[in-house]
Amino acid sequence: MKKILSGIPGLDDLLDGGLHERSSTVIAGPPGTGKTTFATQFIYQGAAALGEAGIFITFEEFPEIIYRDAMNFGWDLKEQEAAGKLRIIFTSPAVLKSELEKENGLIDRVVAEIGAKRIVIDSVTLMEQISCDTIELRQLFNSLINGLKRLGLTTVLTSEVPLLFGHENTFETSIGFVVDNILFLRYVEIESELETALTILKVRGSKHAKDIRKYEIAENGVTIETKFSGHQGILTGFPSRMISGKTLLEEGLIRKKR
């Protein structure tokens, strides 16, 4: 199966060469971890550098905000749109659903017009309000993802999870069951500094890195960095420093709180 590049430095190596064409990926994480930035970078780099036109569907932010925030990273989305390589669509979950169910609906038409290969939906969290029934939601997401796959699109969805540290930070929404790949973003506290970490929880049909990577959002966008060396317990959100492979706790240098 062909793989495409994400446009995020360091990520494709972790994914053993990139995302499968026509696959679906959810980027899940608490507010401010950079989900929208990851998704925008995927679409912008696709259009501007990788020869793949893209569609960015936003339920939450007005297009003006998307343009402005992207411009802060040097990504001129308007220019790509004018060149016919990108389209931003501000809509509601209900409208998107009905357009996808229609014969030759909005997404079909845009795909035909610009030859889109990638699509982002930011975020699916609002879509969850279409129904309170888990089974129905799962069916909704399933038909959404299959519809986009049928159009030949590689899909990136963002999903908001509550801001929590530690083990509670699990990801249990129905979207996780229907997508091919799950990238999980989280905050970790390292020596009184808040850092951000990425884990790849699942990749269908491919091997992938299992380690926890630091990532940085800077002036050029997202870059995946090294592992957190010398720390363990990253998934708890409160890692401890290791001394020659042992933690301070194990060394008995600090006493466990009860």
Ligand X SMILES: Nc1ncnc2c1ncn2[C@@H]1O[C@H](COP(=O)(O)OP(=O)(O)O)[C@@H](O)[C@H]1O
Return residues touching ligand X (CB under 6 A): 29, 31-37, 72-73, 217-219
Residue whose CB is less far from ligand X, 33 or 169:
33
Residue whose CB is less far from ligand X, 34 or 239:
34
Q: Is the dihedral of CA 172, 174, 179, 185 positive or negative?
A: negative
Q: Could you give the residue ranges of the DSSP H alpha helices within 73-133? A: 77-82, 93-101, 106-114
Q: Does 125 bind Mg ion (CB under 5 A)?
A: no
Residue whose CB is less far from ligand X, 217 or 249:
217
The 63-102 site mask, x for binding Mg ion (CB under 5 A), equals ----------------------------------------
217 contacts which partner out of Mg ion, ligand X, none, CB within 5 to 8 A by kind?
ligand X
For residue 244, CA distances in Å to 237, 238, 240, 247, 250 come to 21, 19, 13, 8, 11
CB of 34 to Mg ion, least distance (A): 8
132 contacts which partner out of ligand X, Mg ion, none, CB within 5 to 8 A by kind?
none
CB of 94 to ligand X, least distance (A): 22
CB of 6 to ligand X, least distance (A): 15
Order of strands, sheet of 213-218, starting from the edge strand that comes earlier in the sequence: 86-90, 54-58, 118-122, 154-160, 24-29, 181-190, 193-203, 213-218, 221-227
Residue whose CB is less far from ligand X, 29 or 46:
29
Inter-residue contact 165 to 33 (CB < 8 Å): no
d(CA 63, CA 66): 5
CB of 108 to ligand X, least distance (A): 27
Q: Is the peptide bond before 123 cis (omega within 30 degrees of 0)?
A: yes
CB of 147 to ligand X, least distance (A): 24
Q: Which two tokens stand for residue 235?
A: 């998934």
Of residues 34 through 63, those in contact with Mg ion by CB under 5 A are 36
d(CA 11, CA 2): 17
Count of residues interacting with Mg ion (CB under 5 A): 1
CB of 153 to ligand X, least distance (A): 21
* Interacting residues toward Mg ion by CB under 5 A: 36
